[in-house]
Amino acid sequence: MSRTFVSRRAARFTESVIREMTRLADRHGAINLAQGFPDFPAPRELKEAACRAIEADLNQYAITWGSKNLRHALAAKYAHLGADPETMIVVTCGATEAMIAALMATLNPGDEVIIFEPFYENYGPDAILSGARPKFVKLIPPSNGADWTIDDTALRRAFTSRTRAVILNTPNNPTGKVFAREELALIAALCRKYDALAITDEVYEHILYDGAEHVSIATLPGMAERTITISALSKTFSVTGWRLGYSLAPPRITNAIRKVHDFLTVGAPHPLQEAAAEILARGGSFTNRLSAEYAERRDAFFEGLVAANLAPAARPRGAYYVMVDITGFGRRTDTECARWMVEDVGVAAVPGRSFYQNPRDGRRFLRFCFCKKLETLREATRRLQTAMLRVRPVKAGSRA
Ligand SMILES: Cc1ncc(COP(=O)(O)O)c(C=O)c1O
């Protein structure tokens, strides 16, 4: 029999369901609320800065760990994390590369890494690529409109002497949860007790609602030396295709991430780095506008879901996703429901199982993203409302 020429590692990965839903949305002309990319323009100032950088012929590699201007702009932005531009920052190809480079730089085969469920779908494969063993800890789903919460007992039980890191994402995809200071304090205490790293994905740090406070775990006592903070321009500046992310970490860890990053991608696009540096150096009024605009989208979409008789699990306090509980809905599983929505209703969402290790745990949910123009969101909720008039609710207890 001939070889498959597919590694055991790659053979373990399934295709990204989110990208599959995007393809189905294109095929059926559905509104794509599956993949988290905006359908509105990026800020004009940023695009103009990028045009200037290209005109200035910045066409060759930047310094592999990031152009000096961008690292200095990031150091000023993250002064509260004590970020030194020369020793603590790596500019990467999106937060995606920052995460895999961070894991490869810090974990050894067999190390355990704790991941909260539901999780952003890259974290499981990232752990596998780095040779580590993911250990999943479920957030408790909300009841009566409250928020997703940490199961303290399960989290304490998950930490052992084999734990090398915990991956955290706040504000959270897919739940919209913003981890509270007390929750982060518990995670921090366990990291200190078991001498583990916190690797924190904060790509939605500026997308917050209802006065929610974003706390970086690196600012908690004793955490600066054991935290890798990851973020990106992708979400804050609505430029997911520019592939600009970064990690902030103590010098010894940064040095290891730089080496992995160099061999993975050499560097992020040079002219776009210069454009980002220019805009970041101008300061932060932009981020207030961002939250206000997203709050309007969140409200319009959330009210639209409720009017359609759909049941959002919780009102998102950050990021731009909402999990909808489909228990009591006329379809049996999340995948059947998502397929019906994309084919017959004209709206693409992601089956909840994509965010869980065991598909059964996610099958009561669909995830919608609302990083779209208000008119797109209104048309999506109009379609959902019309479709839901045709759906007969299922009595409690009758689901398989
Ligand atoms: C939690 C989270 N982290 C990382 C990413 C990817 O970020 P980037 O496009 O900067 O690689 C996403 C994209 O949806 C995300 O939701």
Q: pTM of this prediction?
A: 0.95
Q: What is the CA radius of gyration of the chain?
A: 21
Confidence grade of residue 395 (pLDDT, cut at 50, 70, 90): low
18: Cβ below 6 Å to ligand 1?
no
3-state secondary structure of 229: strand
Answer whether residue 332 shows pLDDT above 90.
Answer: no
Q: Is the CB of 175 under 6 A from ligand 1?
A: no
Burial letters for 357-381: b for 16+ Cβ neighbours within 10 Å, e otherwise? beeebbbbbbbbbbbbeeebbebbb
203 CA → ligand 1 middle, Å: 6
Q: How far apart are the first and last CA of the chain?
A: 41
Angle among Cα 341, 119, 367 to the nearest 5 degrees reads 20
Q: Is the CB of 94 under 6 A from ligand 1?
A: yes
Ligand 1 atom nearest to 97, measured from its CA: 11
| pLDDT band of 399, cuts 50, 70, 90 | very low
Give the C-alpha distances (Å, rounded to integers) separating 55 from 50, 59, 355. Answer: 9, 9, 42
Q: Is residue 394 scored above 60 in pLDDT?
A: no
Residue 387 CA to ligand 1 center (angstroms) comes to 31
Q: Tell me what percent of the residues of the chain surpass a pLDDT of 90.
A: 84
pLDDT greater at residue 399 or residue 207: 207
Map 325-375 to HEC letters.
ECCCCCCCCHHHHHHHHHHHHCEECEEHHHHCCCHHHHCCEEEEECCCCHH
Distance between Cα 162 and ligand 1 center (Å): 27
pLDDT at 199: 98
| Residue range 70-88, pLDDT digits in tens | 999 999 999 999 999 999 9
Cα 273 to ligand 1 centre (Å) = 18
Q: What is the mean pLDDT of residues 65-74?
A: 98
174 lines ligand 1 (CB under 6 A): no
Q: Is the CB–ligand 1 distance for residue 240 below 6 Å?
A: yes
- What is the set of domains in the chain, with CATH numbers? 8-42+286-388 (3.90.1150.10), 60-281 (3.40.640.10)
Tell me if 96 CB under 6 Å of ligand 1: yes
The answer to whether the beta carbons of residues 199 and 166 sit under 8 Å apart is yes
